[in-house]
A and B are shown apart, each in its own frame.
Chain A
């Protein structure tokens, strides 16, 4: 139960962090995706 609450809290924190700077996070993830897709 405690672990589930902790996971939910972490998820909410991550979502809130994304909301602060969505473009920057998008860009970092897109860079990663393009790199790994390009290496295939």
Chain B
């Protein structure tokens, strides 16, 4: 009984996620069209979200739509997570990595101790933080 319930809950969750992706894809496709009345489209889209009970998921849908649009344009969303505010010489190093059109976000996370985490499109991650290096020391002992 519990397993069945778990399965059903998992299926419902997956269904919700795929619906969110569908809404995001639809929004991305509409926005990409030229000569549309943006205000009207957005207002209709918000109405659609409210009527289908997804208004509280609008942020998630917008982020997914942004990812789809960026991927279509061949652009990247890059997050630089550092332990402290980066110095001008560090910024120069980071600028070498950024391409024209990339959307760059900076995040400060003192838990990293030192170094950086580079996250591309919320999927690829390059972790050169001291935190991860210290964790590896613990891992190696096992």
Residues of B within 8 A of A27 (CB): 87, 89-90, 93
Interface majority SS on A: helix, strand, loop or mixed? helix
Which of A10, A11, A26, A34: most chain B CB closer than 10 A? A26
Within 8 A of A (CB), among B88-142: 89-90, 93-94, 96-97, 113-118, 120, 124, 126-130, 133-134, 137-138, 141
**Given A14-B134, A26-B86, A27-B87, are A33 and B128 neighbors across the interface (CB < 8 Å)?**
yes
Using CB atoms and an 8 Å cutoff, list the residues of chain A in contact with chain B.
3-4, 7, 10-11, 14-15, 18, 22-23, 25-27, 29-34, 36-38, 40
Within 8 A of A (CB), among B60-98: 82-84, 86-87, 89-90, 93-94, 96-97
In the assembly, what is the distance between CA of A34 and CA of B84, in Å?
Answer: 17
Within 8 A of A (CB), among B29-78: none
Residues of A within 8 A of B117 (CB): 33
Residues of A within 8 A of B82 (CB): 26, 30
**Given A26-B86, A40-B124, are A15 and B138 neighbors across the interface (CB < 8 Å)?**
no
Residues of A within 8 A of B96 (CB): 34, 38
**Residue on A with the closest CB to B137?**
A7
Say yes or no: B120 contacts A26, CB within 8 Å. no
In the assembly, what is the distance between CA of A18 and CA of B93, in Å?
Answer: 20
CB distance from B125 to the nearest CB of A (A): 9
Say yes or no: B134 contacts A29, CB within 8 Å. no
Residues of B within 8 A of A31 (CB): 93
Say yes or no: B130 contacts A14, CB within 8 Å. yes
Say yes or no: B129 contacts A30, CB within 8 Å. no
Say yes or no: B137 contacts A26, CB within 8 Å. no
Say yes or no: A11 contacts B134, CB within 8 Å. yes
Given pairs A25-B115, A36-B128, A40-B126, 14 additional interface contacts (CB within 8 A): A11-B134, A11-B137, A14-B133, A15-B130, A18-B114, A22-B84, A25-B114, A26-B87, A26-B115, A30-B116, A30-B128, A33-B117, A33-B128, A34-B93
